[in-house]
Amino acid sequence: MAELEKEVRELVGRVIKMDPTKISPDANIFTAYHVDSLLGVEILAALDKKYGLDVPDDKIRQIKTLNDIIRLTREQISKK
């Protein structure tokens, strides 16, 4: 699933207009990279478009890091 991690990293980098290789997987994207709630929604919308995710609200609130986004994407894909 390393390919999934790469795809998600690139997608997040594109949305937040940052080099994907510079995004630390464990850094809080909201504080470290100044991602606001609108960009957070854009990230989820891009994931939904690419992977057809249906993310419950309680899961959305738990997303803080790139690793969280990757884990959530993997969980949602495995439910299909």
What is the share, in percent, of the chain residues with pLDDT greater than 90?
A: 76
pLDDT, tens digit (0-9, with 9 covering 90-100), for 57-72? 888 888 999 999 999 9
Structural domains present in the chain: 2-78 (1.10.1200.10)
CA dihedral 56, 14, 28, 23 (to 10 degrees): 140
**In the chain, what is the straight-line distance between the N-terminal and C-terminal CA atoms, in Å?**
16
pLDDT, tens digit (0-9, with 9 covering 90-100), for 21-44? 999 999 999 999 999 989 999 999
Higher-pLDDT residue of 12 and 62 is 12
CB atoms within 10 A of CB 74: 15
